[in-house]
Structure 1
Amino acid sequence: FSITDPITTLGYVDRLLITCEAYHIPAVVLFNKVDQLDEAGLKKLADFQEIYTQCGYPTPAISATDPAYADTVRELLQDKVSFLVGRSGAGKSTTINLVEPTLDLKVGQISAFSGRGRQTTTFAEMFDLSFGGHIIDSPGFKEMVIFDFEESELSHYFPEMRPYLNECKFSNCIHVSEPGCAIKAAVSQGELPDSRYHTYLGMLHEIKDSGW
């Protein structure tokens, strides 16, 4: 993910992570383009890292155009099957080129007009890694649509909420307006990230509207 060029929102990252949790896929929140960040951008990066570290995710930050970060990425990928996802222009193909330069994947540029990446990867493709493992490059996408989730199970896909779930007054609590909700109490006390709770409420609303 990139903090800027293109901008990545917390909600976008949350939806990807929730999908990983639902399908038991270990996730890493990898931030790219740190070399392009000014003071405000570095502050935003630190805020993002604090949120996702609190949720239990590794949050390394790199510049995929700087060979000095190659070993950091190789350690994440070695002997695994990894899938890179994110917005167009965030540097997925550039990151693969960083650790496996011989692949020489085509990379795109950010549009100065829209601030969005130009898509160069048009289908998912898997590559062997010379140091062990495989990596899948994917086309960038704007939004992540959540489907086939039940209201009662959604909170289980937020790992930071799990320690509180058995502390709610009601066993069928969905953490919206119920009295004695441990999740709401933890958010109000700053023990859980407010942004993640708002993502949860938004997704819960989508599930209700969809009728799934």
Structure 2
Amino acid sequence: MGSKNKLKRFKENETFANVFQPTREDITDVVFPLQGKWATFFKNDNPIVLELGCGKGEYTIGLAKQNPNKNFIGIDIKGARFWRGAKTAIEENIENAAFLRTQIELIDKIFAVGEVAEIWITFPDPQIKYKRTKHRLTNDAFLAKYRQVLKPDGLVNLKTDSEFMHGYTLGLLHGKGLEVVYANHDVYKNEGSPKEVLDIQTFYENQYLEKGKPITYIQFKVN
């Protein structure tokens, strides 16, 4: 994407009522205004679901369409990417979808304890090198943050093409004695996967499927 396109999208994001772009200092130096108060933005008390590393926002939008009784927030540091999802939500009047430009490690500063019902992690960078372990979105540090913002029975969903990420996460969950609700190492060949896992496909997922890569899925609890 050219720099002019990026700048155009950044500018357009600033005009979208469903996009939030706080600075890091807005989150770390003061209490974030919507922490514990996201229901005031959505104007209802419906469950809040996060998509972490939402990319173009396909999953956030897809889930919002399928579940009008829930509120969805796509989070990514790259606003030029989720511009597409935010614009689609406005064009199609999808009022239960919003987007937040920030670092994922700050979610415990953005959401109050128990404010989130569910988390989706879709096709994250598996960060295979050992020195990148701290960046894996299912490592101990991130699980602790999810535990803080999730309700007691809150769910985490990991959908990935990375066998490494799938195995790493399962091993970590079993080692910590956390509940694995469902696991599948090839969702399109094995029966039983939830509807939203099969019905919603991201841009990158379609590329992986064209290459014949299996798509894996885990649903688990951290509390």
Q: TM-score, normalised by structure 1?
A: 0.34
Q: TM-score, normalised by structure 2?
A: 0.33
Higher strand share: 2
Larger Rg computed on CA atoms: 1
